[in-house]
Chains A and B, each alone.
Chain A
Amino acid sequence: MNRKANGSTHASDAAKAADLLVTVASTLNERLAVTADELARSQSLLREASDELMTAFRGAADRIVAAQRGADAEKSDEYGLVLDHLYRACQHLQSHDLVNQLIDAQKLRVDKMREKLVQALSLAAPPVSRPDEAEPWIERSRAMLDCIVAGIRQIDQDAHAPLGDKHHAGSVDLF
């Protein structure tokens, strides 16, 4: 009778642990859904701003390049000043582009992790075959954990975030 009581306690503990894992996985998945949404909104705002800036930049750049051709020395100096301003804008537009790529990489990471969490949660959906025994609950928890760990391991795959660091930005090495 004691053995049966002990087995039942183990099964109950194992079931609680499995439930806890489900709660953790689903909470994490919900939080990541919020993160994914905020990343998408940030990217959308950045893209809108970048598109507007690019349109303005393109217009100014085309005109200055056309006007430069055949300009006299005096005008050429003036155009040179305008070009300097456009060159500065050019550097910042590159940064916009790099941030956009960074967001892409983060979105991919979040999506991949969410995919694995959903997969782990689906393992907890079917009813346990022998709920009064600890082993099936432990197996379920192990399968879920394996799935989550696999998600963590592959999180960087295919997410090619631009590496850029301020220290080396703009540096030149000629071989």
Chain B
Amino acid sequence: MKTILAVDDSATMREMVTFVLESAGYRVIEAEDGAQGLDRASAQNVDLVITDQNMPNMDGLTLVRSLRELRDYKSVPILLLTTESSDSMKSQGRAAGATGWLVKPFDPATLLEVVQKVLR
């Protein structure tokens, strides 16, 4: 069973992501911000990270950069799931090493398609 780390400071958003992923058979661990996400990912290897951008303590792009510096996360897919949709933010995400960019509110079926695709 693949394990996915869902990072978002909104409890509702984490719950929505977790529900959708668990309904498709994935195991999900949650983190409330980038700093906690980095701790969780360091403590336990995950197969995919889905993170929000605007969060206290550490934002999503910083989390992506920090994860890419870890040997175990050089090639693990990382998706940004955020309300930010500007091209400049997406470019920053790409430069930081993110695998993809999804804009909230997400469509559950689309999220599952993307997850399947990047986990292949």
B-contacting residues of A (Cβ < 8 Å)?
Answer: 50, 54, 57-58, 61, 64-65, 68, 83, 86-87, 90-91, 93-98, 101, 160, 162-165, 167-175
Contacts and interface: CB of A to CB of B under 8 A. Distances in A.
Contact of B101 (A90, A98, A160, A173): A173
Ranked 3 nearest A-B pairs via Cβ: A94-B105, A168-B85, A87-B108
A163 B54 CA distance: 10
Contacts, number: 94
B23 A164 contact: no
Nearest to B9: A101
Interface stretch (B32-40, B41-49, B109-117): B109-117
Nearest to B10: A97
Given A163-B85, A174-B114, A175-B93, 17 more contacts: A50-B12, A54-B12, A83-B23, A86-B19, A90-B108, A91-B107, A94-B12, A94-B105, A94-B106, A96-B12, A97-B12, A97-B13, A169-B103, A169-B104, A172-B102, A172-B114, A175-B94
Interface of B: 10, 12-13, 15-16, 19-20, 22-23, 54, 83-86, 90, 93-94, 98-110, 114, 117-118
Contacts of A175: 93-94, 98-101
A168 B85 CA distance: 7
